[in-house]
Structure 1
Amino acid sequence: MILSKSMNPNSFFTNFMHDMEFTISSLCIAFALLFVFFYPLITVKLKEKIYPNPHLPPGNLGWPVIGETLGFIRAGFEGKPERFIRERMEKHDSRVFKTCLLGEDMIVFCGTAGHKLLFSNENKLVRTWWPSSVSKLFKTCLLMKAGDDAKRMRRRMMMSFLSPNALMKYVERVDVITQQHIATYWEGKEEVKVHPTVKLYTFELACHLLASIEDPLLISKLASHFNIFLKGVMSFPVNFPGTTFCKSVRAADAIREELIKLIAKQTREALGSKQDLLSRLVVTADSNGKFLTEMEVADNILLLLFSSHDTSSSAITLVLKYLGQMPQVFENVLREQIGIAESKEHGELLKWEDIQKMKYTWNVASEVMRLSPPAIGAFREALVDFTYSGYTIPKGWKLHWSTGSTHKDETLFPNPETFDASRLEREGAAPYSYVPFGGGPRMCPGYEFERLLILVFIHNMIKRFKWDLLIPDEKFGYDPMLSPSQGLPIRLQPHQCST
């Protein structure tokens, strides 16, 4: 490179770094090509030793390392993950098939029988498996640990936060936070982008309930880190400067640092008097009297911030979208919520009994999640060799179940593409067919918590506003949760007389 007179040292450095990046990229590509060339030869030999002539399900492992991941991700980005599943079910004429996703040889179980096997054999035939990006980001979290102590601690953690008694106590607090959020971010606005605003709402709620974080500046700071962190959860786990995963790791570390500061400011005795999950984790010991480290506490809070925030924000966004598209359904939900509001004294907060009265609203939300489930599915790992549908499922293979194999199956849900709010209440759902929250012992422990968040938000939103979608045909895609490509902008129309 020639340094011209007009080029200043900064631009020279920039160009030099660009050239260095190009050289490094070229070397990486060269090594990748060599790896791709030799990988099939190596893996074939290894598999011949590990799995001598296994009668595996039909399927295609695709390209080395990449497998069929690109097709899987593409279908998700286009909002049609069921297409990936359906195409292979039809191609192989089977409800179980092999593929390679996220760098792992994987067997996909489809239909209610496949779901039943995976959901009802937790820690017998299968166990929960997380892609390496997830396990690396959450490090010392209890959900990543095996053993009886970890299992007991998980149970205590969930029961302290998600027990029926705990949920009943949350209703009024969730109602207050929701009203404050709507007053700040929705009232007085003509247009709002739903998804980012709802993400802030669910994150704010999680901060309040999980860790008693109420400082709006700290919540805003954590939310900024959290949005960067989320992008790396399902990325390729290459911790190299500039990569999505590297940025996610740094953001996670920044969140941990803030959480550890919160813990350090308070004594164990002071934390013991609080009722949030962070405090419970700090003061709870295992069977040997050992307490979690500050880092372990922070990791568990980080995971719960993720699990309690992202699916809820996706579900609420989707419900608002469908309500904006269907005037009659909107009016029916409004009628139910106004009836509940009018049964209360002015300024009286919602109670658990009010949530149980929101039957039609929950029917609507449930049908929305059948048509557009917030998450694609989840993963397991085979603990032992076992046989399913005449095929060998080898120990160590990764397994995947997907909402897309049942939610739009016309043998399970007649006219599956048609929205029918009373469908699930009228006809019910065949066991293991409706699975937006999973099923069996591993059914999402946050199901009732998410139900509470969705219903309280819809109650407060619909009694104040009507709304129009500014981009009626906006595309939705999975990344990793279902979300709108442009944030779902809406135009708000306040009711003339809000209750």
Structure 2
Amino acid sequence: MDFFPNLLHLALLSISFSLIFLNYKQKSTRAKFPPGKKGWPIIGETLEFVMNLAVFCGAQGNKFLFSKENKYVTSWWPRSMKKALLFPEALGNSSKEESTIMRSFLPEFLKPEALQYYVPIMDSMAKEHLELDWSPYNKVKVFPLSKKYTFALACRLFMSIKDPNHVTRFADPFALVTAGLMSVPINFPGTAFNSAIKGGKIIRHELLSIIKQRKKELSENKGSSAAHDLLTRMLLASDENGRVMNEKEIANKIIGLLIASHDTTSTAITFVVNYLAEFPQVYHDVLKEQKEIAKSKGPKDLLNWDDIQKMKYSWNVACEAMRLSPPAQGAFREATVDFTYAGFKIPKGWKTYWTAHSTHKNPKYFQDPEKFDPSRFDGNGPTPYTFVPFGGGPRMCPGKEYARLEILVFMHNVVTKFKWEKANPNEQITYNPSPIPVNGLPVNLEIRKF
């Protein structure tokens, strides 16, 4: 019954947007903006981004955005993503503010002494994961299992959660959140975004319970077993003014870290396994390196920091996998002032975006770019600003070294335990936004015998 009035309102709204758009366009004719179309409002190219977006390409584009952080641009994420992840009170906070607070706590957690402590934990958890979730089967799907492993590891190191059932209570709603973060932000029952909103609420509620319990344990001097985890450090830390974060602020930061630490790393691990299956000689060379390390250990010895430093070829392989299939496609920035780049004006408020693909597969920077060649990373490696899986500049991923340890520890365990081949050599890859094997990368397993 209300169809025609609603249709009239929609038509009037569309006309109003169009008039605003045309008026803006007339006023902007004197400025030289980047090439491309902004599209018409509501429909066309602005269906996904009702905004102005400038994509910076190439090594120079990367260098410019990375080096102009906090001068011309600042970090930015769509409000819809914040709505799915954060408590409502934090929606008005700038991405720069949230990131600055988070980074003030990470150096302590990610300094070399702390990272050395994580290596044997990563090793023991990788062994347990492969024994329980891989060994009993002739065929497994790598992508969902890698997500399970990296998420369980993050729960252990960030919050000292060891109970698999407790981890699952987090993992299930997190799957809803990650699946809906980059979807069309329509909060209507049945949509991916609506599921992400619901998943975010469950996670925040669960985190608040954990934080309250940890505060109680600390007040009763029962928190010594969790002294190394990030949650305890956040509860005990304060800024230069003596202010401590409240429970909701801590929960927001933990959510962000869980998303960042397990989603992209699990993608990197998946594609390492993928390329090792595709290139037997590369697999053989990785195995040779890892067997030498394994032979130097006792039957019950776990990997340590020194062992990781010996995995040079394995890390070259991981880097080449991330070059060809970067887990993070790029990131947004927002212009904080009017500026000019390459002769084009970028007005204040415009969103900018750097993308790994503009350099990773560019023959200008990587000869024969589609070839899998780990030797590209020998010596000093690629030209600066061309290999950017972790970003760059002040906003380079602070967890880069954590991710390196996690990937290498997993590589050590999987190659020394299994041989494998892809069940579907022609499996397609989709992007959401990270690359994802459509069928989860099923592989046929064979337990290695020494």
Q: Same fold (TM over 0.5)?
A: yes
Taking the TM superposition and a 5 Å limit, the aligned residue runs for 1:344-423 are: 344-423=297-376
From 153, 156, 164, the counterpart of 2:104: 156
Q: Distance in 1 between matches of 2:123 and 2:395?
A: 28
Q: 1:39 aligns with which of 17, 23, 31?
A: 17
2:440 matched to 1:487?
Answer: yes
- Against the structure 1 CA distance between its residues 490 and 34, is the aligned structure 2 distance closer, same or farther, given a 3 Å change threshold? farther
Partner residue, 1:138: 85
1:213 matched to 2:191? The reply is no
- Report what 1:453 is aligned to: 406
Say if 1:118 and 1:27 are closer, same or farther in 2 by CA, change over 3 A.
farther
Rounded Cα–Cα distance in structure 1 between residues aligned with 2:326 and 2:18: 36
1:122 and 2:72 are equivalent in the alignment: no
- 2:174 is matched by which residue type in structure 1? F
Could you say if the C-alpha distance between residues 147 and 478 of structure 1 is closer, same or farther in structure 2, counting changes exceeding 3 Å? Answer: closer
Taking the aligned partners of 1:487 and 1:388, their CA distance within structure 2 comes to: 41
Q: How does 1:260-339 map to 2 (within 5 A)?
A: 260-266=208-214, 267=216, 268-269=218-219, 270=221, 273=224, 274-339=227-292
Q: Would the alpha carbon gap of residues 208 and 26 (structure 1) be closer, same or farther in structure 2, given more than 3 Å must change?
A: farther
Q: In structure 2, what is the equivalent of residue 110 of structure 1?
A: 57
Deviations 1:379-414 (A, max 9, x none): 101010111111111011000111111111111111
Whole-Å separation in 1 of the counterparts to 2:179 and 2:387: 28
Q: Please say if residues 391 and 397 of structure 2, whose CA atoms lie closer than 8 Å, have aligned partners that are also in contact.
A: yes
In structure 1, distance between residues paired with 2:171 and 2:162? 13
Q: How far did 1:53 drift? A: 2.9
The SS at the match of 2:378 is helix
Q: Which moved more, 1:443-452 or 1:127-136?
A: 127-136
Partners of 1:456 and 1:223 lie apart in 2 by: 22
Partner Cα separation in structure 2 for residue 185 and residue 438 of structure 1: 33
- CA shift at 1:320, angstroms? 0.3
- Deviation string 1:427-450 (CA, Å, 9 cap, x unpaired) is 721111111111111111111111
Could you say what secondary structure the match of 1:406 adopts? Answer: helix
- C-alpha distance in structure 2 between counterparts of 1:29 and 1:174, whole Å: 57
Contact 2:83 2:91 in 1 (8 A): no
Change in CA separation of 1:150 and 1:41 when aligned onto 2, cut-off 3 Å: closer
Between 31-40 and 304-313, the greater mean CA deviation after superposition: 31-40
Distance 1:38 1:293, change over 3 A: same
Matched, 1:190 2:138: yes
What does residue range 166-185 of structure 1 map to in structure 2 within 5 Å? 166-185=114-133
Q: Which runs of 5+ in 2 are unaligned?
A: none
Q: Which amino acid aligns with 2:45?
A: E
2:41 is matched with 64
What code does the residue aligned with 1:460 have? N
Q: Distance in 1 between matches of 2:250 and 2:271?
A: 32
The residue matched to 1:108 in structure 2 has which SS? strand
Query: Which residue type is aligned with residue 32 of structure 2?
Result: H
Residues 82 and 91 in structure 2, CA contact (< 8 A), matched pair in contact too? no
Letter in 2 for 1:176: S
Confirm or deny: 8 A CA contact 2:77 2:95 kept in the other structure: no
How far is 1:210 from its partner?
Answer: 0.7
Contact 1:225 1:255 in 2 (8 A): yes
- 1:245 matched to 2:245? The reply is no
Aligned partner of residue 242 in structure 1, secondary structure: coil
Q: Deviations over 1:242-287 (max 9, x none)?
A: 3221211111110111111112223243476422111122222233
**TM-score for both structures, normalised by structure 1:** 0.83
280 and 338 in structure 1: CA distance in 2 versus 1, 3 angstrom threshold: same
Relative distance call for 1:152 and 1:325 in structure 2 (3 A) is: closer
SS at match of 1:265: helix
Report the AA paired with residue 405 of structure 2: L
Give the 3 Å change call, closer, same or farther, for CA 54–456 of structure 1 in structure 2.
Answer: same
Shift of 1:426: 5.2
- Report the Cα distance in structure 2 between the residues aligned to 1:409 and 1:33, rounded to whole angstroms: 44
Shift of 1:139: 2.9
Give the percent of matched residue pairs that are identical in Structure 1 and Structure 2.
46
Q: How far did 1:37 drift?
A: 4.5
Cα deviation, residue 144, structure 1: 8.2
Cα separation, partners in 2 of 1:148 and 1:367, compared to 1, 3 Å? closer
State how far apart, in whole Å, the 1-side matches of 2:51 and 2:201 are.
27
Contact conserved, 1:132 with 1:237, CA < 8 A, in 2? no
What is the rounded CA distance, in whole Å, between the counterparts of 2:233 and 2:29 in structure 1?
A: 49
Letter in 1 for 2:408: L
Question: Given residue 34 of structure 2, which amino acid in structure 1 is its aligned partner?
Answer: P
Per the alignment, do residues 329 and 214 of structure 1 end up closer, same or farther by CA in structure 2, a change over 3 Å counting?
same
Letter in 2 for 1:53: R
Change (3 A) 1:272 1:284: farther
| Root-mean-square deviation over aligned CA pairs | 2.5
Equivalent-residue separation in structure 1 for 2:148 and 2:135 (angstroms): 16
Match of 1:53?
30
Paired residue for 2:170?
A: 222
Q: 2:207 aligns with which of 259, 262, 269?
A: 259
